[in-house]
Structure 1
Amino acid sequence: PAMMWRSIDNFSTNSVVFVLSSELYDPTDYIEDFNEYKALLSNND
C-alpha cells in the first residue's frame, strides 16, 4: 500500500534478502528518510 514504511535490517552475516515485486524498482518512488516520511504523513491528515 502507498505510504507504508518498511525497514529491513539486522541480518546475520552473509545473509541475503530476496524480494518479489510486480513492478520494477524505481528509486524515485521511495522515501529513504524516516523524518521526511513522518512529515509527509502529517501533511496528509
Structure 2
Amino acid sequence: MNNCVETTPLGSGPLAGLLAVRDSKDTAGPAVLFSPAAWEDFVDALR
C-alpha cells in the first residue's frame, strides 16, 4: 500500500497545541486536527 500521512504540531494562534494530520500526497487538501492525547490514543489503537 502507498498510504502516507504527515503530522505537525501547531505552535501559535488559536489552534496552538493541536496536531494537524493530512495526506502527504495531497498537500493542498484538508488537515484533521487532534489534541496530542487524542492522537496518541489513535496511534495506540492502531498498534
Q: Structure with the greater relative contact order (CA < 8 A, sep ≥ 6): 1 or 2?
A: 1
Please report the TM-score for the alignment, with normalisation by the length of structure 2: 0.42
Which structure carries more strand by proportion? Answer: 2
Which structure carries more helix by proportion? Answer: 1
Please report the TM-score for the alignment, with normalisation by the length of structure 1: 0.43
Larger Rg: 1
